[in-house]
Amino acid sequence: MINPKYQEKSRLLDGDTCILFVHGILSSPNFFRKMTRSLPDNYSYLNILLPGHGTTLSDFAKVNMKDWENYCAEKLALLREKYSRIVVVGHSMGNLLLVDEINKNADKIAGAILIDVPLIGHITTKGLETMFKATFNEEKEKDKIDSSVKDNKSIKIEHYYELPYFLPAFIELLWKMHKVRRDFAEFPVRSYVFQSAKDELVSPLSNNYINRNSLAQLTVMPGTGHFYFPKSQRELIVSRICELYEDQAQAASGEKADS
């Protein structure tokens, strides 16, 4: 059973444009919660929960990358039936799912916001510490970064000997990173890419591949981590989401006027 704390959130209004939010591995829609709360009331959005997340380790162990790919594709197909323009927003693995799917079918995709794109990962002491915090309840009280990890993670395990259950998913994740790294230069839509300057899990070498895409505008955010964003950086991301949303709404209005 899915923990209500991590359930999908949506506001699907009438109109031309909608935003699709896709979180990363072990995370949840909570990563985008403050962003969605900052959106104007007339914006439509769907903040999904990937299969196997928001529940137990045994449920997580039953799903794989193909399940996540299919779910992302299904949600895009659902939104394409209702809306003529879709802005996509991803974090971490969510970016990989979106980029790979949109490279196959960019129909109605108006733009993308990509946050912490893991084209190349790195293992640092801080990264290992973050991953353990994302898995076990080992956060420190009154620590902003630790609190952000605790708020976003949706899979919990009690014992270290359960860690092998995660291995298949992370092996598939490495392959997905390789595939999207190879193909990112061909990503066919306008994108704003935000990479954390002090990301514990994503190597800054990822930026080299992002810069190969002429439609991607890269911003390296100071004072941020893989899960933690100060208010100023979050507001910048939301402003770019609104920019893409309003651009497309205006374009859709223009198309109606022309017809």
The Cα–Cα gap between 165 and 72 comes to 23
Q: φ, ψ for residue 166 (rounded to 5)?
A: -85, -20
Residue 253 pLDDT class (50, 70, 90 cuts): very low
Identify the DSSP state of 91.
E
Q: Say yes or no to pLDDT of 14 above 60.
A: yes
Residue 127 pLDDT class (50, 70, 90 cuts): low
Q: How much is the pLDDT for 176?
A: 97
Please report how many Cα atoms fall inside a 13 Å half-sphere around the Cα of residue 128, on the Cβ side.
3
Mean pLDDT value across residues 62-91:
97
Residue 134 pLDDT class (50, 70, 90 cuts): low
Mean pLDDT value across residues 96-122:
97
Mean pLDDT value across residues 50-77:
94
Q: Say yes or no to pLDDT of 22 above 60.
A: yes
Rounded to the nearest integer, the mean pLDDT of the chain is 87
Please report how many Cα atoms fall inside a 13 Å half-sphere around the Cα of residue 85, on the Cβ side.
22
Residue 135 pLDDT class (50, 70, 90 cuts): low
> Which DSSP string do the residues of 171-221 spell out, in sequence order?
HHHHHHHHHHHHHGGG--S-EEEEEETT-SSB-TTHHHHHTT-TTEEEEEE
Q: What is the CA radius of gyration of the chain?
A: 18
Q: How much is the pLDDT for 5?
A: 84
Residue 117 pLDDT class (50, 70, 90 cuts): very high
Q: Say yes or no to pLDDT of 244 above 70.
A: yes
**Helices 93-104 and 65-82: crossing angle, nearest 10°?**
60
Domain spans, the chain: 4-258
Q: Which residue has the tokens 């380790």?
A: 57
| 4-258 fold | Rossmann fold (3.40.50)
pTM of the model: 0.89
- Tokens coding 183: 């193909």
pLDDT digits (tens, 9 = 90+) for 192-242: 999 999 898 899 999 999 999 999 999 999 988 888 888 999 999 999 999
Residue 249 pLDDT class (50, 70, 90 cuts): very low
Q: How much is the pLDDT for 252?
A: 46
Q: How much is the pLDDT for 167?
A: 83
